[in-house]
Amino acid sequence: MSPAPRTPLPRGAWPFVALVAAVSALLHVSLSRWPYDDAFIHFRIVRQWLTHGAPYFNSGEAVLATSSPGWTWVLTPLFLLPGPETQWVALVNALVVTAAVVLFCRLLTRLGGDALGWPWVVGYAVPALALLHPAGVGLMETPLALLVLVVALSLYLERRESAFFWLG
C-alpha cells in the first residue's frame, strides 16, 4: 500500500485546538471528583496490580475483571505519579478528548475535500465534544477507544498497513 497524502491542520485551527484543550482540561479536572462507577473497577484492578503484582479485581482470583486491558495499561503509570490519581486520569482524558476531536475534524476534512471547509467541520466538533466529555469526565476509557478508532480510520484512508494494527 502506498500512503496517500495527509491533510494537515490549517494554521487558523490551532487557536481553536488550544481553546478546546484548555476547556476540556478545566472540565475534566473540576468534575473528576465524580467518576463513574465503572471507573472504580478499573482503578481497583490497577491498585491490585501495583500492590499484589496481578491485575485482578480480588487478590488471588485469576478472573479477567476488565473489559479494557489497554485502559488498565494506560492507567497503571498514572497511579505511580504523586497526587490524586483521578486528577492524572482527568488530564489524560482531556488530552485524549482533544486529540480525538481534532483527528475527527481532520478526517471529515479529508473525506469532504475542498468542498468541506474548516468552519463547517468545526460545527461537528461541538457535538463530538458533547458526546466524548461525559465519558471522559467520568474517567472512563471511551474517549481513548474512539481516539484509537479515528487513528485507525485515518491510517486506513492514507492506505497505511498500520491501520490494521489499530483496528485489531
Query: What's residue 8's pLDDT?
Result: 62
**Other C-beta atoms within 10 Å of 164: how many?**
11
Question: Could you read off the pLDDT tens digit of each residue along the chain, which spans 168 residues?
Answer: 555 555 566 667 778 788 889 999 999 999 988 899 899 999 999 999 999 998 888 888 888 788 888 999 999 999 999 999 999 999 999 999 999 988 888 888 777 765 666 666 677 778 888 888 899 999 999 999 999 999 998 889 888 888 888 776
The pLDDT value given to residue 6: 57
Give just the sign of the alpha carbon dihedral 112, 113, 115, 117.
positive
- 137 CB burial (10 A radius; 0-12, 13-18, 19+): buried
pTM comes to 0.84
Q: Maximum Cα–Cα distance for the chain, whole Å? A: 58
DSSP state at residue 68: -
What confidence score (pLDDT) does residue 118 get? 63
Rounded to 5 degrees, φ, ψ at 96 are -65, -45
| pLDDT score, position 120 | 65
